[in-house]
Amino acid sequence: MSEIKPYRDSTAGKKEQVATMFDRIAPKYDFLNHTLSFGIDKIWRRKAIRLIAKYTPATILDVATGTGDFAIAALKSGAKKITGIDISKEMVAIGQDKIKKMGLEERIVLMTGDSEAIQFPDRSFDAATVAFGVRNFENLSVGLKELFRVLKQGGILCVLEFSKPRNPLVRFGYNFYSNNLMPWLGRKISGDPAAYTYLPESVQGFPDGENFITFMRKSGFDKIREYRLTFGIATIYIGEKV
């Protein structure tokens, strides 16, 4: 995964490149995110949050929180406190403004942070979430082990991520859209030529399905379940720290 980076002519590591990319596209990110997915991403988030709610977590850590969309939506899980971290300062700043305007500062806190060196002690949270961000980890195993570390015993990890459709016709249509139309629209709107070329490439390079479940299991998670969404275009993974 780490060899797929946003900027091929840069010598910076994947983590630094991803932070730079999201800083650049931050002002247009929310609009592009919902537009390019035709709003289906909101349905996927709601499904993930319904699954999380079954575990009644009081505290949630949302990693790769971006502008805080998932953290805000996760309030419907019943959580009393949600903390979001992201390596992009610009994304976090936009998210903080959004939360302030909504009057949610008492329940949601966003800050910059590294998924592979999470700034919280062991056993700090009842649940951890990553929505469309785990494929951007520089080292997937390190990131998952960090998530396992900060969860309390009995806590859960919920990952919502793009995946590769198994149906050949759906896969053909999805690949055509993500490799041709999405990069063109992304370049036009975001102003960053590399960003929306990198994003579909990172989906193709991500070890989804059973491969990702293996990563979760090796990081300590148990009772792992997989929920494929919209013909397998996205998948929810839930694992427990037992």
Q: Residues of the chain with pLDDT > 70: what percent?
A: 99
In angstroms, the CA 41 to CA 150 distance is 27
Contact 130, 85 (CB under 8 A): no
Provide the strand spans (E) within 49-163: 59-63, 81-86, 108-112, 125-131, 151-162
> Tens of pLDDT along 79-113?
999 999 999 999 999 999 999 999 999 999 999 99
Which is nearest to 132 in space by CA: 14, 11, 18? 18
Per-residue pLDDT for 200 more than 90?
no
In angstroms, the CA 11 to CA 16 distance is 10
In angstroms, the CA 47 to CA 27 distance is 27
Per-residue pLDDT for 193 more than 90?
no
> Tens of pLDDT along 166-185?
999 999 999 999 888 888 88
How much is the average pLDDT of 150-170? 97
| DSSP, res 177 | I
Per-residue pLDDT for 2 more than 70?
no
Per-residue pLDDT for 38 more than 90?
no
Beta strands at 222-229 and 234-240: parallel, antiparallel or unpaired = antiparallel
Query: Taking all residues of the chain, what is their mean pLDDT, rounded to a whole number?
Result: 94
Pick the CATH number of 14-163+206-240 from 3.40.50.150, 2.60.120.1600, 3.40.50.10490, 3.10.129.10: 3.40.50.150
